[in-house]
Amino acid sequence: MKKFKKYITYGYSGSDKGKKYTAYCLIFVTALFVLSGLNSCKKLIEPNPSSTKILTSTVFTDSITVQAALAGMYTSLSNSDPYDLSISTIPGFTADELNYVGEGFTQYINNTIPVNDSYAEGIWASSYSVIYIANGIVNGVTNSNSLSAKFKNQAIGEALFVRALCYFYLTNIYGDVPLILSTDVTQNTVAARTPSAIVYNQIINDLKLAQTYLPADYSISSNDRTRANKFAATALLARVYLYTSKWAEAEAQATTIINSSLFSLTTDLNQVFTPNSTEAIFQFYNSSNGYTYYAAAVVPAAVEPIPTYVLSSEQMAAFQTGDKRESAWVGSILYSGTTYYYPYKYKSVQTDANQEYYTVLRLAEQYLIRAEARAEQNNASGAIADLNMVHNPGRVGLPVYSGATDQISVLSAIMKERQVELFSEWGHRWFDLKRTNTADAVLGAEKPTWKPTDVLFPIPTTEIKLDPKLVQNPGY
Model confidence at 398, in pLDDT bands (50, 70, 90)?
very high
pLDDT at 303: 81
Instruction: Tell me the average pLDDT across 340-351.
Output: 94
Instruction: Tell me the average pLDDT across 258-269.
Output: 97
> Chain-wide mean pLDDT for the chain?
88
Chain segment 124-162, per-residue pLDDT in tens = 999 999 999 999 999 999 989 889 999 999 999 999 999
pLDDT at 36: 39
Task: Return the HEC string of the chain.
Answer: CCCHHHHHHHCCCCCCCCCCCHHHHHHHHHHHHHHHCCCCCCCCCCCCCCCCECCCHHHCCCHHHHHHHHHHHHHHHHCCHHHHHHHHHHHHHHCCCEEECCCCCHHHHCCCCCCCCHHHHHHHHHHHHHHHHHHHHHHHHHHCCCCCHHHHHHHHHHHHHHHHHHHHHHHHHHCCECCCCCCEHHHHCCCCCECHHHHHHHHHHHHHHHHHHCCCCCHHHCCCCCCCCHHHHHHHHHHHHHHCCCHHHHHHHHHHHHCCCCCCCCCCHHHCCCCCCCCEEEEECCCCCCCCHHHHHHCCCCCCCCCCEEECHHHHHHCCCCCHHHHHHEEEEEECCEEEEEECCCCCCCCCCCCCCEEEEEHHHHHHHHHHHHHHCCCHHHHHHHHHHHCCHHHHCCCCCCCCCCHHHHHHHHHHHHHHHCCCCCCHHHHHHHHCCCHHHHHHHHCCCCCHHHHCCCCCHHHHHHCCCCCCCCCC
pLDDT above 90 covers what percent of the chain?
78
Q: Give 306 or 181, the one with higher predicted confidence.
A: 181
pLDDT at 52 over 50: no
Chain segment 58-117, per-residue pLDDT in tens = 578 889 999 999 999 999 999 888 999 999 999 999 999 999 998 889 999 999 999 999
pLDDT above 70 covers what percent of the chain?
88
pLDDT at 2 over 90: no
Model confidence at 55, in pLDDT bands (50, 70, 90)?
low
CATH code for the structural domain at 4-214+437-466: 1.25.40.390
Chain segment 282-323, per-residue pLDDT in tens = 999 988 888 899 999 999 988 878 889 999 999 999 999 999
pLDDT at 320: 96
